[in-house]
Structure formats: structure tokens, C-alpha cells
Structure 1
Amino acid sequence: MENLQVALPDQPDTLAPVSQSDRISTIDILRGVALLGILLMNIPMFSMPDRYTEAFRSNPEDFNFWVRAVILVVFEGKMRALFSMIFGAGILLCTTKKEAAGKSTAFLFYRRMGWLVLFGLADAHLLLWEGDILYAYGIIGMLAFLFRRIKPVYRALGIPLVALMDFGMSHAFYSDLRAKRMDYVKVQNEIKTGQKPNPEQQKILAQWREVELDFVPNEQDIKDNIKKMKSDYGTVAQKIRKDSWNWQTKYFLYGIADPLALMLLGIALFKWGFLTNKWSARKYRLTMLIGYGIGLPLVLYDFYYGFVNMPNLAASFRHMETHPVVWVNIIYPFQRILLVMAHTAAIMLIIQSGVIQQILNRIAAVGQMALTNYVMHTIICTLFFFGYGLNYYATFQYYQIFYVVFAIWIVQLVLSPVWLKHFYFGPLEWLWRSLTYWKIQPMRRRD
């Protein structure tokens, strides 16, 4: 890296990151909210064994049931959707001024996304977070970049179309699993008399066994996986890397449509001023009314449908065997867009009101250091839960893991403003910018 240069503040003709004066506080606040909210959804993957919800998902008398209900209705998918929208807006923040000055940004942006992909690979395969999104966002961001100049109305009108495509991809995934399940059930019925399966039947049984290992582990698999997760780094890594690689390769195409659509929506909403608090309070209230008025009944019905029809794994298999298409799943992409719009409008109204400004400033600092704080989630949670750390994996009840979430929130809400008081960027943001522009960026504040 001997050619890495030092960025100088008096080089107006060179490409450079977004300056501090050009930062938009509402974008940082929304990014901070999304980042903190995402941890609510990620914490079970760090801490809970496979199929952990079966212990309480059909029992309303269990406190865990209601904690899960609130998480699913209010937050599930919405925080990731908000993060995707802000990521889309960030594409414009990264390129608009440079392109207006006549500079080409394509190579720079793709290099930026390339480094994000590498950060994601490190997050998944070195730090061992199988739910990493940096890898996927780096690749999908490259696609979203191609649509940045399309008129906002076309992007917004494309959301229902892409939501339908997302349902189609989900259905294709479901259909593939269902076909393997139906073949498996047929073979099981055929060999009940005790005869040895023939080669074709053995192949079908092996295919279903692969599905079990990836998605629906049996009781023995669950015990084996717990033992692995409570072991040394090498054992945990062997399991996590396999799962991560499957999602980054074999199943990757199934997850492209959703974040891509939301990134495009974020670009449109940024251009319209929705994400930068340029709408009137009346328009934000109307957005909340429509979003919550339609989205909440939809998500509540979706939750109730799952409660009645799929209270456990056996019931889920019966439902799969009798339903070639799960039409209720078309609700998901629409309800989450409606609710994330309502959530965002509510945040904008809070910002406009001027209340809890100190808290908002702290959330903005978290959002300004989103990459560092996201990777910090991985480091803290893996060292707290996995066997090579404090080994609390599969130890807590469901509701108790959110105490860990609240503790991490407090740490990041306290440390992020303190760090940014002395430095321009979070440590990983500084590294990312320096690698993107191939110039060492200024780090320590001089004022």
C-alpha cells in the first residue's frame, strides 16, 4: 500500500468523501434507528438454538409469546427495510455532488461497494456472523447504482411490481422445498414396510436431509448444533462458514429483489424530501395514518394466520403438504413498506417537534458510525454468546436476550458521540473511505 496518499483539505478538483458540513442529520438519525432496531432481529441468531420459538409460539400465556409478537409486528423486516432505504439515499449522497461537478463516479462507487463486499466476507467468515448483510448490500448496491437517474415516480411505481417479484422469488424457494418434502413423504410411505430404499429413493432422502440441516434441523441436529456453538473458535467457524456461504451463493438470488426495491424507494424518497424532513407535519401525519391504518391490520392478520396454521414444525409441514401456494405471504412485502413509511414519518414528526433532541443527537452519532457499530454488534454478541467467549449460547429465555440488546444500545449511544467529538469518522468508516479514495483521510478533529 505504498501508493496510498494523504487526502489534503485544499484539493477541490479531486474526488473526496461527503464533508461534515454536507451531512444530513435526519439521514444519520434514521440510519441510527435502523441499526439499533436491526439488533432486535439479529440477537436470536447469535444466542438461541434452532427452532427456539416452538417452546412458546403457540402459548399466549407465556411472556415470550408476547415479546415475540411485538417484535414481529412492529420491527421484523421494518428496520432492515429502513436501513435499505437509507442505503439507497446514500448512493445519491455519495455521487450527486461529484457528478454535478462533471466527475465520473462509477469506478469510485463500485470500488466502494467492492470493499463493502470484502468487509461482509470478513464479518461472516472471520468474525462469524452468519446473518451478515454487508456482503449482500455491496453487491445489490452495485445494481441500485444503475437506476439512480431514473425519475423518482418510476422507482416508486416499481415498488408494487418488485414486491410481487419478491413474492415470486419466495414462492419459488417455497415450491422447491415443498417438492422435496412431498417426494420425501412419498418415499417414507413407500418404505414403511421395512424394505431398503432403492438408489432413487436414497437420493430423495438425501435431498430432504440437506433441507433439514439447512432449515429445519431435527432434535438431534439441534443438540449437535448447540454443542458446536458452545465449542472453540474452529468448531464454531466450521458451522458458521458453511451456513454463511450457502446464503452468499446457493440462496443469494432469492434475496435480491427485496433490498433492491427498497434501495430504489429510498432514492425516490430522498429526492422527494421525505427522508430529509422537508415535508409538512400534515403530510407526515397523513403518511402515518395510511401506513398504520392499512399496514397494522395486514401484519396482525399475517401473525394470526401463522399462530393458527403453523404453531409448530409438524403443523408447518402439514400446511406445506396441503398448500401449493401460501397466498398470505403476499402480505409481507406490502405491510412492511406501509409500516416502515409510517415509522419514518413518526420519526420525522418527533424531529420536527424538537423534543428529546439530546437522544436524537446520540442516535445520529450511532448512525454516522453505522459500519463500526454494526461490526461491533458482531464482536460483542459472538464473544458474549459463543463457546470461545463467555459461552451464553442457548442459555437465556427469549425475552432475556433483549437485556443484552438494551445494554449494547446504551454502550453505543454513549460511546458514539464521545468518539465523534474527537474524530471525524468511526474507525471502520475511516478505513472504508481511505480504501475507497485510496487516500488516507483526516481522522482526528483539530478544533
Structure 2
Amino acid sequence: MTARTPAGTPPPAARITILDILRALALLGIVIVHTHDHFNLYLPMPPAEGWQAAANSAADWAYEHLFVSKSFLLFSFLFGLSFFIQLDRREQQGIDFRKRFMWRLTLLFLLGLAHTLFYDGDILTLFGILGFALVMLYKCGTPLLITLCALCLLQPVMLMDLLNHAGLADWWPHSSGWFHTASPAASPTREFLYAHGSWGQAALWNLTQGQAGKWHFFLLSGRLWQTLGLFILGMLAGRWRTFEDAPDKRRLFLRMLGISGTLFLALLAARLLLPSRLDSALEVDAGHLLHQWENLAYTAAFVSAAVLLFTHPGLPLPARLLSSAGKCTLTCYITQTLVFTFLFFGWGLGLAQDMGPWPCLCAAVAVFLLQAWACRLWLSHFLYGPLEWLWRTATMCRMQPFRKRISQKN
């Protein structure tokens, strides 16, 4: 049985299908990146020859220019947007969902810790912590949110590092000197544990040194500020109802595509044409900063193009297949890790060194398509993915509807 809607409250709003499709595309990009990196198991690869070398080069190019960092940015933006949609719809029913959402974030963090037992690059713990900022900012005015979003996306730490090397902020301690972390000499490396250790040894490393290394990366790479900025941008997109009735907003998305695409090309040209006469440290800082902004512009262009394509009538695109995967993002994200860490690591099949960039790309796409097909089949009988239902039930602290009724299937 499903709960009745209280009298006088609007019926539950329909899902926005294009957002599910965007989640699926982000998920595809993330699994391509993770498999290319062998889920952070970096080992020297034997050289390939002939067509395999060419295929590996093509896979490396796709990884570098189409997916790495960019898919994570899209995932972050969609998380902020989903947050707003959940709270806004509850608010329309007269319910303040913020406290319940903080409990939901706590559950996400705990699930992320469990996921970390297999993969030290888990992002659920990051989202679980940074998501509390969204709860605090939910009632803030739009001008303040725009200001905070811009400050975060400008990459304040990288910008100050650049000014420091340019001699304009000598008082700023360059971020390269913030941390000095080194593993004990007798401590086995991540690569050794992943390739030759047991699952328990790898899991312990992930929860200790792996977590420290992850947060070190998020702080110094600018990923932390970027994630928070995209969370806020997603919340703003929700306030502006950007993706509601998306098929009727083609002019808006065409304009966004033109602006973001032009900006991407300009930033790419600026980074590639950095004057070689610059101080090497200054050039490196400028290149890193421009690359971060370039990735943002690329992601905005990608979102605009995807909306235009998937809302265009008559195009033979697998919208239903992708939207099914997008409704089960959490389940797919976790199962991707379970499949590929078993495939790559020593406690499983240990095939990392036998799979170069091209086989990894093929395996990532194949697993994603299999997941999408399984999700479509699953959702013909159930309302949510398995982990999505567990998360929802734990959030509400009571059993939630799971199986579809006959009327819902038809």
C-alpha cells in the first residue's frame, strides 16, 4: 500500500526524465575514467603494437579530453539539483525536509565508508559531508548563492597560488607547502596492496592512508571548492526551474550551448598558447587554473547539447535505457566498483596489467550497458533500485513502497 497524500496538498510531481538521462551519462563517464585508471591501481603497462597501440591511443585521448574530471563535475551539479528538487517538493506539501535530509546525508556518508572498503576514490563520503552546506544555504537569497557559487568556481586557492607566483600576493603561503605527507618507509604502497594483498589489507589501507590521500587531493586540486560551487549551481538551476519542460526551452539551451562552447574553446586556446616566457611555476599555476575553468565550460556545453539531443522529437536515441540507469545511479555506482575491483585487484582476478586503455574502455561501456538493461528490467517490476530503496527506507525510518502494482506497470 502507498501512503495517501494529505488533503489540500498537490500530488507528487513527475520525475524529470532528462535529469535521469544526464545522471546516466555522468555515470558512464565516471566508470570510463575509473576503469582507465584501474580504480587507482597504477601499474606499468606492457607496450602494445599495431592496431592495439592505435586503439589504446584513441582510448587515452577520449579519457583525457572527454571524460576525466568532467563527468565528476556533472555528477556534482546533478546532486545539488536533486537536493533542491527533494526539498522544494516537500516544501510544497508543507513539510520542512531539511532535518530529514541531514539524516539522509549521514546515511550516504556511512554507505560511502562501506564503499571505501573496496575503492579509496569513493565520492559518497565527500557528498555526504559537503551536502550539509546545501542544507544551511537552502533558505539563503539567490544573490548570495550566486556570489558564493562564483567564488567557489573561480578556484580561490589556485587563484591565490597564481597571484603568489606573480608576486602580487607574497603573504599567501602557496598550497604546495600546506601538507607534507609521506608513508612510512616500511609501509606497503597502495599498488602493492591492490595487486598482491588480500582484500582486508587493501580495505584497511583505503580507510586510513587512502582517506588521507583522497582529502589531500580534494583540497589541493581545487576539487573541494569546485564540488561545492557545482552543488550551489545545481540548487540555483532548481530554483530557476531550468530543466522543467525542457523540450519547450530549446532556445535557452541553444544559447547556453553557444556561450559555453565558445568559452570552452577560448579557455582551451588560452591554456595551449600560454607564453613560454612565463616563469615555469607561474605557467604551471596558470595552466591548472585555466584547465579547471575549461572543464566547467565543457560540462555546461555537454549538458546543453545532451538536453537538445534527447528532447528532440524523432531522434533514435536510447532515452528509456539511459533514464532507467539514471534512476538507479547509486546501485550502478557501487556495483561498478565491486565488478571492476574484483576484475583488476590481486584479491580477485588480478587482470589490471592485462587490460590496457582500449580493453578497459570496452569493458566499461559493456558493463554500463548491461547495468542499464538490468535497470530497465528491474524497474518494470519495482519502483526503485535496490540501494535507492534501502536508502529511502532508512531515510524515512519506515518501510517504503517497493513493488509496482499492476496499474503502475501498465
Q: TM-score, normalised by structure 1?
A: 0.75
Q: CA deviation at 1:301?
A: 5.6
The 5 A counterparts of 1:22-33 are 22-33=14-25
Q: What's 2:33 paired with?
A: 41
Q: Does the alignment pair 1:230 with 2:196?
A: yes
CA separation in 2, counterparts of 1:429 and 1:95?
17
After TM superposition, give the deviation of residue 68 of structure 1 in Å.
Answer: 2.4
Give the whole-Å Cα distance in 2 for the aligned partners of 1:96 and 1:90: 10
> 1:446, 1:269 → 2: CA distance?
34
Relative to structure 1, the CA distance from residue 171 to residue 70 in structure 2 (aligned partners, 3 Å threshold; closer, same or farther) is farther
Question: Rg bigger for which structure?
Answer: 1
1:260 pairs, out of 228, 231, 255, with 228
Aligned to 1:121: 113
C-alpha contact 2:260 2:298 (8 A) present in aligned 1? yes
Aligned CA distance change for structure 1 residues 389 and 118 (closer, same or farther; 3 Å): same
CA contact 1:166–1:258 (8 Å) conserved in 2:
no
- Which residue number corresponds to residue 204 of structure 1? none
**Matching of residue 330 in structure 1 with residue 269 in structure 2:** no
Equivalent of 1:420, from 366, 379, 391? 379
Q: Residue 174 of structure 1: CA displacement?
A: 10
Determine the structure 2 residue equivalent to 1:282. 251
Match of 1:298 in 2: 267
Tell me, in whole angstroms, the C-alpha distance in 1 between the residues paired with 2:233 and 2:45: 33
Q: Is the 8 A contact 1:48 1:394 kept in 2?
A: no
The residue aligned with 2:3 is 9
- 1:52 is displaced (CA, Å) by 5.2
Alpha-carbon distance between aligned partners in 2 of 1:65 and 1:138, rounded to the nearest angstrom: 36
| Match of residue 79 from structure 2 | 87
> Aligned residue for 1:314?
none
Could you tell me which of 350, 364, 371 is aligned with 1:405? Answer: 364
Query: In the aligned structure 1, how far is the partner of 2:155 from the partner of 2:124?
Result: 23
Q: Within 2, Cα distance between the matches of 1:211 and 1:170?
A: 32
Residues in 1 aligned to 2:368 and 2:295: alpha-carbon distance in whole angstroms? 24
1:249–1:86 Cα change, 3 Å: closer
Task: Pick closer, same or farther for the CA change 1:414–1:150 going to 2, 3 Å.
Answer: same
Change (3 A) 1:430 1:404: same
What's the offset of the Cα at 1:236?
2.4
Structure with greater contact order relative to length (CA < 8 Å, sep ≥ 6): 1
Aligned pair 1:78/2:46, yes or no? no
Q: Which residue of 2 is the match for residue 196 of structure 1?
A: none
Q: Using the alignment, how far apart are the partners of 1:170 and 1:434 within structure 2?
A: 45
| Aligned-pair CA distance for 1:142 | 1.1
8 Å contact kept, 2:70–2:296: yes
Give the deviation of 1:30 after TM superposition: 1.2
How far does residue 279 in structure 1 lie from its aligned partner after superposition? 5.8
Q: Deviations over 1:215-261 (max 9, x none)?
A: xxxxxx87x82464233212322333334321466666554311110
Q: Pick closer, same or farther for the CA change 1:228–1:259 going to 2, 3 Å.
A: closer
**1:339-383 deviation digits (Å, cap 9, x = unpaired):** 111111111111221245661111111111111111011111111
Q: CA 1:337–1:249 in structure 2 vs 1: closer, same or farther (change >3 Å)?
A: closer
State the SS of the aligned residue for 2:288: helix
Q: Would the alpha carbon gap of residues 274 and 229 (structure 1) be closer, same or farther in structure 2, given more than 3 Å must change? A: same
Residue aligning to 2:392? 433
Label 1:155 to 1:212 Cα distance change in 2 as closer, same or farther (>3 A).
farther
Contact 1:167–1:333, Cα closer than 8 Å, also in 2: no
Structure 2 residue identity aligned to 1:343 = F
Tell me the distance in 2 between the aligned counterparts of 1:380 and 1:260: 30
Q: Which residue of 1 aligns with 2:166?
A: none
What is the number of residues matched between the two proteins?
A: 386
Deviation digits for residues 92-146 of structure 1 (CA, Å, limit 9, x no counterpart): 2211122233322221010010100001010002xx1111111110111111122
Unaligned runs of 5+ in 1: 1-6, 181-206, 215-220, 310-317
CA contact (8 A) 1:112 1:436 kept: yes
C-alpha distance in 2, partners of 1:432/1:228?
A: 29
List aligned pairs for 1:190-201, cutoff 5 A. none
What amino acid does structure 2 have at the position aligned with 1:133? I
Distance in 1 (alpha carbons) for counterparts of 2:108 and 2:273: 38
In structure 2, the residue corresponding to 1:388 is in which secondary structure? coil
Alignment partner, residue 148 of structure 1:
138
The whole-number CA distance in structure 2 between the counterparts of 1:235 and 1:67 is 32
1:368 paired to 2:327:
yes
Cα 1:352/1:154, change in 2 over 3 Å: farther
- Sequence identity (%): 22
TM-score (norm 2): 0.82
The question of whether the paired residues in 1 share the 8 Å contact of 2:247 and 2:312 is answered with no
Checking the alignment, whether the CA contact within 8 Å between 1:47 and 1:394 is kept in structure 2 is no
Query: C-alpha deviations, 1:364-418, integer Å up to 9, x for none?
Result: 1111111111101111111111112221123222222111101111111211110
What SS does the aligned partner of 1:242 have?
helix
Q: Which amino acid aligns with 1:161?
A: L
RMSD of aligned C-alpha atoms? 3.6
Deviating more after overlay: 38-47 vs 396-405:
38-47
For residues 343 and 173 of structure 2, the distance between their equivalents in structure 1, rounded to whole angstroms, comes to 34
* Cα separation, 2, equivalents of 1:397 and 1:303: 28
Any idea what the Cα deviations from partners look like across 1:302-335, whole Å, max 9, x if unmatched?
4787xx99xxxxxxxx96xx55971222113321
